[in-house]
Structure 1
Amino acid sequence: MSYQYLLVEQDGPVAIITLNRPQQLNALCQALLRELEAALDAIAADENVRAVIITGAGERAFAAGADISELAQLPSATAGRELALRSHRLARKMADLPKPIIAAINGYALGGGLELALACDIRLAADTAQLGLPEVTLGIMPGWGGTQRLLRLTGPGVAKLLMMTGERISAQQAQQLAIVERVVPQAELLDAAKHLAHTLAGMPPLSIAAIKEAVNRGHDMALDDANAFEAGLFGALTATEDAKEGTRAFLEKRKPTWRGR
């Protein structure tokens, strides 16, 4: 499939999606988001892909936010709500994908750009990256899940501070606040993301999918309910061919071969 605003390539079992509007700092227009949804559908159907990287074209921006020209033309509150709900559906698709998604944040990740990164499973940032949710300066607020995902990473006080001031923070500050997991030199970012993605792709895919589901769904459950959900997933995994292969390989002191069954 060809895309106007994305570059999609495959590096072995790793799919790399590059947001490709560098002249607009990879701003997230609706056409780009529709293409991203289609690319994720194709990746979900491809058994050869076991991990995903999302990054931005160029060194200046991962994604500098929503396309402001589109926001300015929204005719009603209903249209604004539907715009937010479409983005929420994309984020849900990312959460439901049984493959890990890594954000390689190579520059500005602002507004919708940061919200897209927050919807990924793991975030790596270049040491030159800047992150923020500046929607308040436009008279609006984060509407693509940012209020909820940032809250769950930083706690309510920090989340309110960043969103109410619209402040930009450095990659290093973002790591201290647990918004990103790792910070690496700009020139090494994509290689670091690929290395991590290949490491995850080399793990048993059913285990990776179960861990992602347990963390994502269990996060909002009471502890006893989340533990019961975890136990169900654990039990299902113990009956798989991969679990039998993994335990045999350990006892036989050899490298296991994962088949996703």
Structure 2
Amino acid sequence: MDVSDAELTVEVTGPVATVTIHNPARRNAMTAAMWRQLPELLDHLEPDPDVRALVLTGAGDAFCAGADLGDLAELLDAGDTSIAVAAEERLASFAKPTVASIRGACVGGGAQLAVACDLRIAADDARFGVPPARLGLVYPAPTTRRLSRLVGPSAAKHLLFTAELIDAQRALRIGLVDEVLPGDRLVARVDDLTATIAQRSPLSVAAAKEIIDDRAGPARIAWWHRKVATTGEPREGVAAVTERRQPRFAWRPTDG
């Protein structure tokens, strides 16, 4: 493999940033360099006031086939402090909504990244798997807990105990993905979804994400309610509904 072909690329179109996993020789498997690169990209994108949502996807016909096995020893030695877990945690803590756009293989480290996103939209050819039991490995504890919260303990155990691949429809039934569409409609649906999110109040969305992810204690929740009272966002929202126009929400997470 030419390691120069393995990279994460970023494209910002309007209010949406798209991070693409690109490693064609390995079905977009994540190399050590790519795991290290992801938090850096997110650190750059998060404070950008023009970015309102982020899409994570894979190049070509796969999302991500996992961690590149050539880097497996480094990941195993680090356990739950590995660069893969650090990348996953940074993605999960990204302050703005994140959407995984999934086609083809979404396995191992790919599932790890997809589960760390807020929403997952899949093409009907997507396949999902969590293979540590096939390899004699222990899936990272933060990843295991996040998967269990998403699909429930029983479905998480089935995925982890069997290491079987499941199709997109089963992933939809257990809550691993939010929508399944024909492959030729995936990009348009993700574009529509992120455009809708970008039109909503960033204050409302940011508060909801923190609260749902259990990262907002009583003091932080009170802080959010004070922002509602002082930023004028509700006045703008009501005015937009009354005037039958798109709202012009002015608050951004960088405003504090």
1:1-261 aligned within 5 A: 5-59=7-61, 61-71=62-72, 73-74=73-74, 79-81=77-79, 84-143=81-140, 145-217=142-214, 230=221, 233-260=224-251
How large is the Cα RMSD of the aligned pairs? 2.4
Tell me the secondary structure at the aligned position of residue 9 of structure 2: strand
Tell me the secondary structure at the aligned position of residue 65 of structure 1: coil
Tell me the secondary structure at the aligned position of residue 213 of structure 2: helix
Deviations 1:39-61 (A, max 9, x none): 111111211110110000111x2
Deviations 1:189-232 (A, max 9, x none): 122111111111111111111111110016xx9xxx78x86565
Shift of 1:235: 4.2
**Fraction of identical pairs, as percent:** 38
Query: 2: CA distance between counterparts of 1:208 and 1:167?
Result: 35
Paired residues of 2:133 and 2:161 also in contact (CA < 8 A): yes
**One-letter identity of the residue aligned with 2:8:** L
Paired residues of 2:102 and 2:121 also in contact (CA < 8 A): yes
Tell me the secondary structure at the aligned position of residue 214 of structure 2: helix
Deviations 1:88-109 (A, max 9, x none): 3323322332210000011101
**One-letter identity of the residue aligned with 1:44:** E
**One-letter identity of the residue aligned with 1:66:** A
Matched residues, number: 249
Shift of 1:167: 0.8
Gaps of 5+ in 1: none
Deviations 1:148-188 (A, max 9, x none): 11111222122111101101100110000001000011122
Query: Structure 1 stretches (4+) deviating beyond 6 angstroms?
Result: none
Tell me the secondary structure at the aligned position of residue 45 of structure 1: coil
Query: 2: CA distance between counterparts of 1:253 and 1:5?
Result: 44
Shift of 1:36: 1.5
Tell me the secondary structure at the aligned position of residue 63 of structure 1: coil
TM-score, normalised by the number of residues in structure 2: 0.88
* Larger displacement relative to structure 2 (141-150 or 7-16): 141-150
Paired residues of 2:67 and 2:109 also in contact (CA < 8 A): yes
Query: 1: CA distance between counterparts of 2:99 and 2:141?
Result: 18
Query: 2: CA distance between counterparts of 1:87 and 1:244?
Result: 43
TM-score, normalised by the number of residues in structure 1: 0.87
Query: 2: CA distance between counterparts of 1:174 and 1:69?
Result: 29
Query: 2: CA distance between counterparts of 1:253 and 1:139?
Result: 58
Tell me the secondary structure at the aligned position of residue 140 of structure 1: coil
Tell me the secondary structure at the aligned position of residue 67 of structure 2: coil
Gaps of 5+ in 2: none
Paired residues of 1:122 and 1:181 also in contact (CA < 8 A): yes
